[in-house]
Structures are given as structure tokens and as C-alpha cells.
Chain A
């Protein structure tokens, strides 16, 4: 069964600090992995998308890594800002008919001043 597990479920960090979110998946055959940011009361917004051959991708202060061998991904937030407070969702696409997406449960990040 395709699954995506994220950790931690939630975390609190001080403004200006860095943090790393984890995503482990069992989706097969793998097509791509995306990280979304979802602000409270809004729809998810794409941060990064990585295919099998990519092992790192950045979007401003967000850097995602992918290890396709161990089926793990991480999202690193550098110099956190209050606006980074949100849920971060890892989504993995299977390379099959329809490229079905499997969603992680998300990590809720709270940045405190």
C-alpha cells in the first residue's frame, strides 16, 4: 500500500532559526515528490517538485532534498520568519495510470517571535 509519513507532526521554532521536516514514503513506482505549504484557511501552494533524478531543489529559504534509494525527503527552512507558520505537506506521485497522488499528514510549523 502506498503511504507517506511525515515527522514531526508539529513543531515550534523561534524566528530566525532553521528547521527540517521529514517525509518517508513507500509509493512505488515513484514519479515525483512535492512539498506544499498550506496557510491556515487557504489551499495548499506548491513549494518544490522533484523527480527521481533530482536530489535537491530550492525555493528561496526552502530547500528540499530527495533520497530515492532510502525513499526519504526533507524540507529545510532557513532563517525562519513568522510567515513560515503553516502546515507543510509532502505529496508523492506514483508513475502509473493517472499518476495517483499520496498525501502525507503534514507537519504544522509555528514560528514564534
Chain B
């Protein structure tokens, strides 16, 4: 298996633009997680899905952030409009069962908003 796949690996955009990050979880995994990592705040859980259904989005910072999982093999995290403080590395992770199992992380998307 190729593991969790994220795209793009790097994104540089200007303030106010829409940004879409993509994630393909490991086949057969039922739970998918979006995280944000910064030097100041470390790793933060933004939202997670179980069987394509959003379970906990309490970590989503504000309405500018939205996430979807239209099917078991694809998820997006969208920021509209983007702001410089959104600059961070965004990780996607998947697991067979939320909570008990090991989470497998993707390589991350490094987002820079100018």
C-alpha cells in the first residue's frame, strides 16, 4: 500500500485566495483525520470522519475552514479565504478504527499564505 497520500506537498498562495488540500486514506481504513501543525501550537486536530461522516469538527478554527469526505477514498480540506495565520503544515491521517488503532499519517502539505 502507498500509505496516506496528500496533495499538493507544498502550496504558496496569496491572502484571500481559496486553498484546497487533498487526501487519499489507506484503503480499508474507516476513519480519517485532518491536523494542523505549527511551531507555536504543535499538532492540532481539526476534524475527523468515521465512515465518511464528520464526527468531531470542534477543532476547525473558524468558518473559513471546511472539510468534506465524499467517499471512502478521498477527502478535502478547504480554506476560503486564506489568511497568513493559516500558514502551517496540514496532515491527513487514517486508521481502521477511530481511537484504538494506530493512526498512519501522510507526508503533509506545507501551506504558506503571503
Contacts and interface: CB of A to CB of B under 8 A. Distances in A.
A72 B50 CA distance: 30
A42 B99 contact: no
B102 A46 contact: yes
Contact of B56 (A44, A45, A98): A98
Contacts of B44: 103
A103 B42 contact: yes
Interface stretch (B13-21, B69-77, B79-87, B103-111): B103-111
B12 interface: no
Interface of A: 31-32, 34, 41-46, 49, 89, 93, 98-101, 103-106
A45 B107 CA distance: 10
B114 interface: no
B34 interface: no
Contacts, number: 47
Given A43-B108, A46-B102, A98 B48 contact: yes
Nearest to A95: B99
Contacts of B104: 46
Contacts of B106: 43
Interface in B44-86: 44-45, 48, 50, 55-56
Given A98-B55, A103-B43, A104-B42, A45 B105 contact: yes
Contacts of B98: 98-99
A46 B56 contact: no
